[in-house]
């Protein structure tokens, strides 16, 4: 398989020169007659340059989780489709995201994760910024041993901060600063989940340090991971073991309104129990929904699995047209469940369970990528019953492109 890395020099062509608009229009039809997104959306590098702007920079996009920078001064670089960013936790424990470029001559400031003591220092000429992005030192700017220059105003050269919001430890950025306020954006999902976790319950989540995180590299376009996650149609074929305990019949589909998320739920979630050991539950979970769990893809690039005793954040780092890194972080209710020695084996088992499920899905998403190289495929067809969430995601993509 050829991997197409993101080429920053790709010209941003008009969409009509990249793909057949008529095919795109076929997405937004009643599901019985709709077609899926055209092949170019998964195989054409010019399309990715277009999508980068329209989807990833215009929307609230996930670039990480707070638990990966837990201490004050923790910082890590992140590359969002060619744009270098810094994720940092400042001294007041607030997470900030900056463009990762020095205001002097444009050196990339940070190239690996680290804990910084007081400043972000540029390796080139040592200009330094505090954790709020203020330029605080410009050594020798006025000549040797003269660190000021009367014509240079430091206050006009701070780091450029990205519009950022943290929700349930997830770091969302809106590069182009043009999406609706995050509170408005997330309200429909919070409303849906208010019978499971309210705002106070959201504060109870704690990441686990031992079996909390793993990542997977998949050879496919990021959209396939979302499409596959939304539906339960593939349960019997791709997840035969999971289907035995929580079968396709026990699942229901979820349609977010307005169209910002889609997914599925199960009515047969069974908590992991070993003897008298089990994870703590969310305290305000409605009593008639104890066995409900929900799996939601919040567009564009994060999937959340919510259960009475844990939640996970499964987010996508698009690397190329046909290359994606999947990141998984699991959270529990309170520190005892997340990190207590007593429940370590249970956490290991839970993490293993989800990793096996995600590994099973790789054959599905990579198989779709391979198939999309066929010139005779035209977006295909949807099952009017089973593919509703996937159709919803395709409509979301198509509507944001034009």
Q: Which residues here bind ligand FES, judged by CB under 6 A? A: 102, 104-105, 107, 122, 124-127
**Cβ atoms of 369 and 42 closer than 8 Å:** yes
Give the C-alpha distances (Å, rounded to integers) separating 5 from 49, 76, 188, 254.
Answer: 11, 22, 35, 34
- Minimum distance from residue 382 beta carbon to Fe ion (Å): 17
Residue 182 binds which of Fe ion, ligand FES, none (CB < 5-8 A, kind-dependent): none
Q: Helices 222-230 and 388-401: crossing angle, nearest 10°?
A: 140
Residue 348 binds which of Fe ion, ligand FES, none (CB < 5-8 A, kind-dependent): none
- Minimum distance from residue 101 beta carbon to ligand FES (Å): 9
Residue 107 binds which of ligand FES, Fe ion, none (CB < 5-8 A, kind-dependent): ligand FES
Q: Over the Cα atoms of the chain, what is R_g? A: 23
303 vs 297: CA distance, rounded Å: 4
In the complex with ligand FES, the residue whose CB is nearer, 149 or 344, is 149
Residue nearest Fe ion by beta-carbon distance: 361
Q: What angle do CA 80, 84, 89 make, to 5 degrees?
A: 95
152 vs 154: CA distance, rounded Å: 6
Which positions touch Fe ion (CB under 5 A)? Answer: 361
List the beta bridge partners of residue 262. 255, 297
**Cβ atoms of 124 and 188 closer than 8 Å:** no
Residue 127 binds which of Fe ion, ligand FES, none (CB < 5-8 A, kind-dependent): ligand FES
- Minimum distance from residue 126 beta carbon to ligand FES (Å): 6
- Minimum distance from residue 105 beta carbon to ligand FES (Å): 4
In the complex with Fe ion, the residue whose CB is nearer, 234 or 291, is 234
In the complex with ligand FES, the residue whose CB is nearer, 81 or 122, is 122
Residue 361 binds which of Fe ion, ligand FES, none (CB < 5-8 A, kind-dependent): Fe ion
- Minimum distance from residue 361 beta carbon to Fe ion (Å): 4
In the complex with Fe ion, the residue whose CB is nearer, 40 or 361, is 361
In the complex with ligand FES, the residue whose CB is nearer, 119 or 180, is 119
Give the C-alpha distances (Å, rounded to integers) separating 370 from 4, 24, 172.
Answer: 14, 20, 31
- Minimum distance from residue 155 beta carbon to ligand FES (Å): 17
Q: Which residues make Cβ contacts (< 8 Å) with residue 172, sequence separation at least 6? A: 60, 61, 62, 63, 164, 165, 166, 182
In the complex with ligand FES, the residue whose CB is nearer, 126 or 271, is 126
In the complex with ligand FES, the residue whose CB is nearer, 110 or 333, is 110
- Count of C-beta atoms within a 10 Å radius of residue 10: 15
List the beta bridge partners of residue 99. 85
- Minimum distance from residue 146 beta carbon to ligand FES (Å): 16
**DSSP H helices in 152-252:** 182-192, 199-202, 222-230, 235-238, 240-245
């Amino acid at each position: 398989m050829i991997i197409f890395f993101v080429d920053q020099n790709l010209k941003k062509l008009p969409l009509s020169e990249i793909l057949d608009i008529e095919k795109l229009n076929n997405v937004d039809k009643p599901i019985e007659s709709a077609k899926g997104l055209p092949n170019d959306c998964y195989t054409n590098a010019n399309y990715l340059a277009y999508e980068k702007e329209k989807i990833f920079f215009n929307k609230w996009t996930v670039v990480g989780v707070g638990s990966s920078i837990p201490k004050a001064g923790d910082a890590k670089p992140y590359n969002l489709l060619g744009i270098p960013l810094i994720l940092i936790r400042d001294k007041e424990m607030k997470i900030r995201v900056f463009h990762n470029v020095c205001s002097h001559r444009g050196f990339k400031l940070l190239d690996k994760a680290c804990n910084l003591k007081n400043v972000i220092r540029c390796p080139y000429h040592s200009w330094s910024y505090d954790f709020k992005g203020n330029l605080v030192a410009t050594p020798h700017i006025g000549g040797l041993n003269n660190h000021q220059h009367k014509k240079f105003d430091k206050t006009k050269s701070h780091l450029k901060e990205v519009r950022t919001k943290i929700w349930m430890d997830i770091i969302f950025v809106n590069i182009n600063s043009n999406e609706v306020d995050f509170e408005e954006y997330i309200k429909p999902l919070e409303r849906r989940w208010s019978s499971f976790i309210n705002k106070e319950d959201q504060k109870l989540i704690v990441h686990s340090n031992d079996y909390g995180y793993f990542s997977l590299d998949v050879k496919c376009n990021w959209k396939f991971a979302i499409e596959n996650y939304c539906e339960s149609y593939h349960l019997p074929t791709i997840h035969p073991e999971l289907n035995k305990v929580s079968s396709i019949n026990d699942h229901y589909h979820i349609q977010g309104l307005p169209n910002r998320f889609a997914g599925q739920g199960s009515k047969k979630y069974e908590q992991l129990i070993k003897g008298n050991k089990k994870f703590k539950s969310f305290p305000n979970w409605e009593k008639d929904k104890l066995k409900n769990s929900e799996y939601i893809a919040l567009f564009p690039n994060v999937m959340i699995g919510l259960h009475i005793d844990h939640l996970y954040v499964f987010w996508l780092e698009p690397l190329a047209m046909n290359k994606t890194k999947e990141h998984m972080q699991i959270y529990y209710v309170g520190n005892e469940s997340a990190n207590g020695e007593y429940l370590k084996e249970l956490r290991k088992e839970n993490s293993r369970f989800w990793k096996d499920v995600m590994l099973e899905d790789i054959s599905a998403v990579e198989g779709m990528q391979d198939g999309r190289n066929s010139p005779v495929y035209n977006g295909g067809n949807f099952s009017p019953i089973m593919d509703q969430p996937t159709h919803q995601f395709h409509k979301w993509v198509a509507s944001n492109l034009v």
